[in-house]
Amino acid sequence: MRLCHSIEPNDNKIGKLSFCEAIAVFDGQPSDFDWDETIIFFDEKDRFGYRTPPTMADPSSGVICLPNNYNYKNDLKLNEGMLRVTSLANYDAWKAAPINDYDKNKSKHFNILITKALSVLTRGRKVLDLPSFQKKILDTDFFTPLTIERFTGHQNGAIYGSPNKIYSGLLPIENLYLCGTDQGFLGIVGAMLSGVSIVNSHILSKF
């Protein structure tokens, strides 16, 4: 809407749900630690809070992914192990923090999220703490809501678009249609389905 200068944007409709994600590439395979899952959704609270947390990142719930454990064909494997953990994050907290503290905050929350992932993964199995795991780490990556905003242009670092979906895909400008997570469902699959539904409704129907 901001690109269309004739239309006044509605800031109340901007999405607020954002994430932090820590990725650790390590020497070995998840099976070295008896990790055989591919993806784990975890929550340590009695009631899951699907909302912006009060802190920069909320390690009490999240998603852990071990892409090495996909069922690849012909027994293929990734050369290095990979551990990825994603948690809900607070865009305003990251934005308000001094820019000089950005790298320090990223490092701090990387350790927090990886520590949480290790605690979830090692329950009832080999005990593995952060210092021991760090000796295996070859490379790391960490993104914040500010990363999302910078590289995608998503305001508030929002992943799932506006909570107020425009299901019709119709905009006040002729032949301009909305598709993606602002139109319909969430995530990659939602964005793809949105494109299909908009084309079917407004483009193919004209032929």
Per-residue pLDDT of the chain (207 residues; tens, 9 = 90+): 777 776 666 667 788 899 999 999 999 999 999 999 999 999 999 999 889 999 999 999 999 999 999 989 888 889 999 999 999 999 999 999 999 999 999 999 999 999 999 999 987 776 678 888 999 999 999 999 999 999 988 889 998 888 888 899 998 888 889 888 888 888 889 889 999 999 999 989 887
DSSP summary character for residue 28: S
Residue range of the domain that includes 70 = 12-157
Round to whole Å and give the CA distance between 134 and 64: 17
122 belongs to a structural domain: yes
5 belongs to a structural domain: no
Please check whether residues 18 and 95 belong to one and the same domain.
yes
CB atoms within 10 A of CB 171: 14
According to the model, what pLDDT value does residue 14 have?
84
Domains held by the chain: number: 2
Please check whether residues 34 and 80 belong to one and the same domain.
yes
The H helix count followed by the E strand count for the chain is: 5, 5
DSSP summary character for residue 68: G
Could you tell me how many residues make up the chain?
A: 207
83 belongs to a structural domain: yes
Please check whether residues 76 and 117 belong to one and the same domain.
yes
According to the model, what pLDDT value does residue 9 have?
65
Round to whole Å and give the CA distance between 179 and 195: 6
The position carrying tokens 């950005």 is 102
CB 121 within 8 A of CB 84: no
Please check whether residues 128 and 44 belong to one and the same domain.
yes
- What dihedral do alpha carbons 110, 111, 113, 119 form, nearest 10°? 160
For residue 125, what are the CA distances in angstroms to 36, 37, 55, 122? 11, 13, 30, 5
Round to whole Å and give the CA distance between 80 and 85: 17
